[in-house]
A and B are shown apart, each in its own frame.
Chain A
Amino acid sequence: MHNPLRSEADAFRWFVVILAGAISVGVLAALTRPLVGLIWALVLIAAGGAIAYRSSRGRRPVGVPLTRGGDGRHRVLVVANETVGGAALLDEIGARCRGRDCEILVITPALAAGRADHWASDIDEAIVLARQRMELSLIEIDQRLGLRARGEIGDSDPNVAMEDALRVFPADEIVVSTHPPERSRWLERGVVARARKEVDLPIAHVVVDLEAEQGGGRQAP
């Protein structure tokens, strides 16, 4: 859902459109009868509402623009939230960076608690939690794998977060980490499938079962 009124420029555009509609209503009412003008105004309001609704729904991007590094470094973009410190994910990162000069960017989407929080951008708590998990995972990557990584908090929509990151990070491949299918909201929403459709890069999907890892003696974040 896109807000059709994000700035003064948007508001001005709406103002001009409404002004044009009002002039047509005024002219019609003056030339015929006020009732005709009123009916025309209602038609315009209905049409305007429909256009605003359609434009607010937005369109899915057909492809995500990529940047290129070109310096011989292998760049891995990791997208993970609750599973960001999972052992399976760390193993996957380690396998992909073995024997390479590797640069890692970990994107942790800040997930809003609910739709109302998402709409109001009330994700302060989600940002704090995501940051804590991300910091722990960066330490794990450093200590267990001996690799240096950067981390960023991303949009609460993981696909948007991925797209945002790819604008500034010339990734060679992407690793998306989720819970197992029976518990993963990302898989339910088709995050991985959508990423594979939109992003022209190799995308690996890692399933991290935090419960199994904790049961096996590993400490999950």
Chain B
Amino acid sequence: MESATVALDHGHEEHHGPPEANQSSRIDRQTLGILLFIVSEVMLFGAFFAAYFFLRAVVDPPNWPPHPYQLPVYVALVNTFILVSSSFTIHYALEAIRRGNRKGLKLGLVLTWLLGATFLFIQVNEYAHVGFSARDLGFGTIFYSLTGLHGAHVFVGLMLLSFATIRAFRGHFGPEEKDHLGVEVPGIYWHFVDVMWIIVFLSVYVL
């Protein structure tokens, strides 16, 4: 562990602010914060999924999506590939900075940002051409709610990635764990967003 060390030889140094955190083998505060946030987000998505599966159960299951609506499965599949790829690029960025490779960090972050933005662009385009709106039956409402909720999370993730990318180009971050928390925390969030999309894609478009 990394104890909060007080190397004392009768020292009575002035200490201001809260005491130094005792980290030990437990998690650091920033990571704990994002994990607690993700737990709350899982509950939020859980509520939407509950609504979605409830609707599917009360509507005649073989007729989902209800006639005459069709979901653009292949467009969503391409979008899934794009978003899944972005998890690999953010992981590449973090692996790069852990080895002190700043170019790799920048490349990984820029690629992740571009993939995320492409995903959002395609999703907005899908909304424009899908042929039904949120007002069309419970099906339309839950489709837009679930995919829209996820899209909002991608947007927030893109904001976080933007800050991380700008900081990376300004020379921030280093190989030490404490020196790249600004990428680590958005990275965890981004993986969560990707996992959520995989579940949304499976639930809405495949099953």
Binding site for B on A (CB under 8 A): 3, 5-9, 11-12, 14-15, 18-19, 22, 25-26, 29-30, 34, 37-38, 41, 107, 110, 120-121, 123-124, 127-128, 131, 134-135, 138-139, 142, 148, 150-156, 160-161, 163-165
Contact A124 B91 (CB under 8 A): no
User: Could you tell me the distance between the alpha carbons of A18 and B9 in the complex, rounded to whole angstroms?
Assistant: 52
Contact B10 A134 (CB under 8 A): no
Residues of the B chain whose Cβ atoms lie less than 8 Å from the Cβ of A155: 1, 3, 22, 24-25
Contact with A along B166-207 (1 / 0, CB 8 A): 000000000001000001100110011011001101100011
Contact B206 A8 (CB under 8 A): no
Contact A5 B6 (CB under 8 A): no
Select A123's contact among B22, B27, B192, B207, beta carbons within 8 Å.
Answer: B22
In whole Å, how far is B62's beta carbon from the nearest beta carbon of chain A? Answer: 9
Residues of the B chain whose Cβ atoms lie less than 8 Å from the Cβ of A34: 206-207
Provide a sorted-by-A list of 19 A–B residue pairs whose CB atoms are within 8 angstroms: A6-B27, A7-B184, A8-B188, A9-B94, A14-B195, A29-B202, A34-B206, A124-B19, A127-B21, A127-B22, A131-B19, A134-B6, A134-B8, A151-B6, A153-B22, A154-B1, A154-B3, A155-B22, A155-B25
Residues of the B chain whose Cβ atoms lie less than 8 Å from the Cβ of A41: 202, 207
User: Could you tell me the distance between the alpha carbons of A25 and B5 in the complex, rounded to whole angstroms?
Assistant: 50
Whose C-beta in chain A lies nearest to the C-beta of B187? Answer: A8
Residues of the A chain whose Cβ atoms lie less than 8 Å from the Cβ of B191: 8, 11-12, 14-15
Any chain A CB within 8 A of the CB of B31?
A: yes
Residues of the A chain whose Cβ atoms lie less than 8 Å from the Cβ of B18: 124
Residues of the A chain whose Cβ atoms lie less than 8 Å from the Cβ of B7: 150-152
In whole Å, how far is A103's beta carbon from the nearest beta carbon of chain B? Answer: 12
Any chain A CB within 8 A of the CB of B87?
A: yes
Q: A6-B27, A22-B199 are in contact. Are A151 and B8 (CB under 8 A)?
A: yes
Q: A7-B184, A121-B27, A121-B29 are in contact. Are A127 and B202 (CB under 8 A)?
A: no
Interface majority SS on A: helix, strand, loop or mixed?
A: helix
Whose C-beta in chain A lies nearest to the C-beta of B195? Answer: A18
User: Could you tell me the distance between the alpha carbons of A47 and B183 in the complex, rounded to whole angstroms?
Assistant: 31
Any chain A CB within 8 A of the CB of B12?
A: yes
Contact B192 A11 (CB under 8 A): yes
B 14-38 contacts with A by CB, 8 A: 18-27, 29, 31-32, 35
Further pairs besides A8-B187, A135-B12: 10, Cβ < 8 Å: A9-B91, A11-B188, A18-B198, A25-B207, A29-B202, A131-B6, A152-B6, A160-B25, A161-B3, A161-B24
In whole Å, how far is A59's beta carbon from the nearest beta carbon of chain B? Answer: 13
Most buried by A among B9, B192, B206: B206
Number of A-B contacts (CB under 8 A): 136
Residues of the B chain whose Cβ atoms lie less than 8 Å from the Cβ of A6: 27, 31
Contact B31 A142 (CB under 8 A): no
Contact B84 A152 (CB under 8 A): no
Residues of the A chain whose Cβ atoms lie less than 8 Å from the Cβ of B199: 22
In whole Å, how far is A123's beta carbon from the nearest beta carbon of chain B? Answer: 6
Residues of the B chain whose Cβ atoms lie less than 8 Å from the Cβ of A135: 6, 8, 10-12
B 74-133 contacts with A by CB, 8 A: 84, 87, 90-91, 94
User: Could you tell me the distance between the alpha carbons of A160 and B22 in the complex, rounded to whole angstroms?
Assistant: 12
Contact A22 B27 (CB under 8 A): no
Any chain A CB within 8 A of the CB of B47?
A: no
Residues of the A chain whose Cβ atoms lie less than 8 Å from the Cβ of B25: 155, 160, 164
Whose C-beta in chain A lies nearest to the C-beta of B18? Answer: A124
Residues of the A chain whose Cβ atoms lie less than 8 Å from the Cβ of B207: 25, 29, 34, 37-38, 41
Contact A15 B87 (CB under 8 A): yes
Any chain A CB within 8 A of the CB of B4?
A: yes
Contact B3 A165 (CB under 8 A): yes
In whole Å, how far is B38's beta carbon from the nearest beta carbon of chain A? Answer: 8
